[in-house]
Structure 1
Amino acid sequence: MYRQRRFKQQTQPEELNRWLVSYADYMTLMFALFVVLYALSLLKQDEFTALTDSITKVFEKAPRGEANFEHLSLTPIAVNSQLATANAAAATLIAPEAALTNTAPLSDIRQQYLGAPLNTIEQDLRTALSDLIDQGVTKLVEDDDWLVIELNSALLFASGSATATSSARTVLQEISKIINPINNFLRVRGYTDNIPIRNELFSSNWELSVARATSVLRVLESLGTAPQRMAIEGFGEYYPTADNATASGRAENRKVAIAISRFGYQSAAPAFTEQNDVLEQQLQQVTQADGSIQVVPLPGGGIRITTRRDNPDAVTERQDP
């Protein structure tokens, strides 16, 4: 006869703290989210705009009716420029001091105010210059900081001349309708081929490129483009975009480019005008009582405007606290 043993079943306590695992995961995700949001809030406005423009270019669809991919600017020069920009950004993260020595100035544009978006300007220019783009005498090239309108010299000038033709004024008039309402900086750049020129007007290709850029700038100024937004750059034969060994390459290198910066010009005149108005009101308030004004220099710098003449040396004798 077997004696049956009764095993006492021990009841295990129920786990009531399992919710802490999910709660900890949730708090970790929330912490990571707020760290990313804080990092985005520290970005500068121009850097954030450049980032959004780059992302927009990647996902931007091609316009209907265009069989080529010219609007993507996937030329070797543009690709090399983008690769150089990416390498410079990577070098900045690794060694900022070394990266600063390799960066080129932005054509001496010191006012870092964003102008009109380059994507919108490019669309308007493609619509206005569609016939010239189809004929191959005009190109639109966009990189990180510039939208460049390349105009063939045969469209603007006679051979060996820097005097703008009537057709040049017609083309520039269409361009001015788009670039005049915006405040973006403009750089008019002249280029030539490598065939030397020497005549009574120009002793080198450099002078010819500068003269042609100047002529285009003068036409734009006469059409109402603000002169404080523009500057001239002459590159001569030293920055070719095509092979000068062929006739077609030399024809492509003879051009004038209008570069539109993503930065815009902002005049400081309204601020000074407002300050002058405040000073004028203060002077009027002072002269209403006595009719005379006394300007007293302060020991720590600056001046004091007063009408009191009972003790003129009181201000100068007072010592700084």
Structure 2
Amino acid sequence: MKRNRKKKQGGAPQWMTTYADMITLILVFFVLLFSMSQINLVKFEALAESFRNRMIFDFYPSAVENDYPTEQAKAQENGEKNNEYELPDDDKEQDKEEKKDAETEDLEELKAEVDEYIEENELGDIISATQTERGVVLVLEEQLLFETSSAEVLDGAKPFLSKVGTLLDNIPNFVKVEGHTDNRQISSFRYPSNWELSGARASSVIRYLLDQTETLDPKRFTAVAYGETRPIAPNDSEANWSKNRRVEIVILDPEYEGSN
């Protein structure tokens, strides 16, 4: 007697049915979420406006290369793709003026503090502070800073230089330190001429400022040797020779040509 064999029914496997039911439920869930959501146009417009006029993209218009680089190049040449996120010219000019005013105010405050220090310590005969188109210029005569034919900073000059270092730490301006001598020539093993002496003195002042105020950036400083080429008085007397032997610390105005 033959056994009756059940014929296998065709169709998808059982796991496929369960999987399809799950996908359907997920779809219904997201449809419900979408149907319940509402877009607040007022908030959307406010959010969109907040992105306007702001340079928030490092790669504008796109960090992805154009599929048609030739057309992109032509568009850039024709000025068709300007950065709409740049600040208007009026705002740029206003920011520039405000920055300039702040920098000028900083220099004026620095000079005022230096003047007060000079007056309190009765140093007016050997230190002067003036404000010129270059910036604030501090003129320190040799007798305050160095022994004759030497570039080692004297102890008597260190309090004033420390004060200058503290003031410079509060502003970002570049600083040029210039060494000057009189017209009498020096010739020694260490300093073969006035050029070496004036350069060494300017460098010594910068080195002391940086050593005492470690937060100062060395990149802000420039040492310049002028030797006897820029006298401020005729080299015809002991008093005038003394005036010409000096170091000038120039806190540069950013607007001055060649300030950095």
Report the TM-score range of the alignment, normalised by the length of the smaller protein: 0.5 to 0.7
Match for residue 247 of structure 1 among 216, 238, 251: 238
> Residue 256 of structure 1 aligns with which residue?
247
Which amino acid in 2 is paired with 1:166?
A: D
1:219 aligns with 2:208: yes
* Unpaired stretches in structure 1, ≥5 consecutive residues: 1-39, 54-113, 265-321
Whether 2:151 is the aligned partner of 1:162: answer yes
Offset of 1:143 from its aligned partner?
A: 0.8
Q: Deviations over 1:180-200 (max 9, x none)?
A: 121111111101000011011
Q: Are the aligned partners of 2:106 and 2:171 in contact in 1 as well (CA < 8 Å)?
A: no
**Cα distance change of structure 1 residues 130 and 45 upon mapping to structure 2, 3 Å threshold:** farther
Q: Post-superposition shift, 1:115? A: 7.3
Equivalent position of 2:19 in the other structure? none
Structure 1 ranges of 4+ moved more than 4 A: 40-50, 131-134
What aligned pairs does 1:307-318 form with structure 2 within 5 A after superposition? none
CA distance in structure 2 between the aligned counterparts of 1:132 and 1:234, rounded to whole angstroms: 29
Task: Please report how far the alpha carbon of residue 247 of structure 1 lies from its aligned counterpart in structure 2 after TM superposition.
Answer: 1.3
Q: Is the 8 A contact 1:192 1:237 kept in 2?
A: yes
Partner letter of residue 262 of structure 1? D
Which residue does 1:271 correspond to in 2?
Answer: none
1:256 deviates by 0.7
Q: 1:178 aligns with which of 167, 189, 204?
A: 167
Residue 107 of structure 2 aligns with which residue?
Answer: 118
Cα distance in 2, alignment partners of residues 229 and 116 from structure 1? 19
Q: Distance in 2 between matches of 1:46 and 1:195?
A: 47
AA aligned opposite 2:116: T
Query: How many residue pairs get matched?
Result: 165
Q: What's the Cα RMSD here?
A: 2.7
Corresponding residue SS for 1:189: strand
TM-score (norm 2): 0.57
Give the aligned partner of residue 281 of structure 1: none
Rg comparison, structure with higher value: 2
SS of 2:190's equivalent in the other structure is coil
CA deviations over 1:82-104 (Å, ceiling 9, x no partner): xxxxxxxxxxxxxxxxxxxxxxx
Q: CA deviation at 1:43?
A: 5.8
- Cα offset for 1:263? 2.2
Aligned equivalents of 1:197, 1:150: Cα separation in 2: 22
For residues 169 and 234 of structure 2, the distance between their equivalents in structure 1, rounded to whole angstroms, comes to 34
For 2:45, the equivalent position in structure 1 comes to none
Partner of 1:80: none
How far residue 226 of structure 1 moved from its aligned partner, in angstroms, is: 2.1
